[in-house]
């Protein structure tokens, strides 16, 4: 019973950590400069930062699995694993993206963390998608304004 409570506390801590990482990346100002190529670069930088945030979040969960595995009665991960750090990162990525190959199987209270990671990953990927869509709209508007400023006779529809 106590192990389940620890697993829930670890899950809440990981959610807070991943939301913090994601929020900080998404609220970084992504300046739209005066050149169209800079708008393009701004979008590429944004996407790279979002990808980095997801990788950091996967690593955070992977580190938690590494520390939880076989310790404090929190359960184990079994299956196609050699026990390397990359095994935990792999399992975390499969869980975070809700891919779920099933070649690594959680047992014990660690399953709670795995289930929460899938939900957390789904929410954060959705957040990234909506933010990217809104940023693309903003960058496109900036590019149209720039085009209109450079070519006032062309007309912007």
Cα dist from 132 to 16, 42, 103, 111, whole Å: 22, 12, 32, 31
In a domain, 88, yes or no: yes
Instruction: Compute the distance between CA of residue 17 and CA of residue 99 in angstroms, rounded to an integer.
Output: 22
- Could you read off the pLDDT of 1-35 as tens digits, one per residue? 899 999 999 999 999 999 999 999 998 865 544 44
Considering the domain boundaries, does residue 147 fall inside one? Answer: no
Q: Is residue 62 scored above 90 in pLDDT?
A: yes
- Given a contact cutoff of 8 angstroms between Cβ atoms, the answer to whether 57 and 96 are in contact is yes
Q: What is the pLDDT of residues 97-125, one digit of tens each?
A: 999 888 999 999 999 999 999 999 999 99
List the domain range (segments joined by +) for residue 135: 2-26+36-142
**Domain-located, residue 151:** no
How many structural domains are present in the chain?
1
**Nearest alpha-carbon partner for 112 in 151, 146, 73:** 73
On whether residue 19 sits in a domain, the answer given is: yes
According to DSSP, residue 69 is labeled: T
Dihedral angle sign, alpha carbons of residues 40, 42, 48, 50: negative
Residue 56 lies in a domain: yes
The neighbour count for residue 1, using CB atoms within 10 Å, is: 6
Domain of residue 13, CATH code: 1.10.287.70
* Position 157 in a domain: no
Question: Would residue 155 count as lying in a domain?
Answer: no
Q: What global pTM score does this model have?
A: 0.85
Residue 41 domain flag: yes
* E-assigned strand segments in the chain: 76-79, 104-107
Residue 34 has a pLDDT of 47
């Amino acid at each position: 019973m106590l192990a389940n409570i620890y697993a829930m506390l670890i899950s809440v801590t990981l959610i807070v950590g991943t939301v913090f990482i994601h929020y900080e990346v998404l609220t970084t100002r992504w300046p739209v400069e005066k050149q169209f190529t800079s708008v393009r670069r701004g979008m590429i930088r944004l996407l790279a930062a979002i990808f980095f945030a997801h990788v950091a979040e996967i690593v955070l969960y992977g580190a938690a699995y590494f520390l939880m595995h076989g310790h404090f009665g929190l359960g184990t991960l079994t299956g196609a694993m050699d026990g390397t750090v990359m095994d935990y990162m792999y399992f975390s990525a499969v869980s975070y993206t809700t891919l779920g190959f099933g070649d690594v199987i959680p047992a014990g209270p660690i399953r709670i963390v795995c289930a929460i990671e899938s939900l957390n990953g789904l929410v954060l990927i959705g957040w990234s998608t909506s933010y990217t869509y809104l940023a693309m709209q903003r960058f496109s508007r900036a590019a149209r304004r720039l085009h209109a400023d450079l070519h006032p006779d062309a007309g912007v529809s």
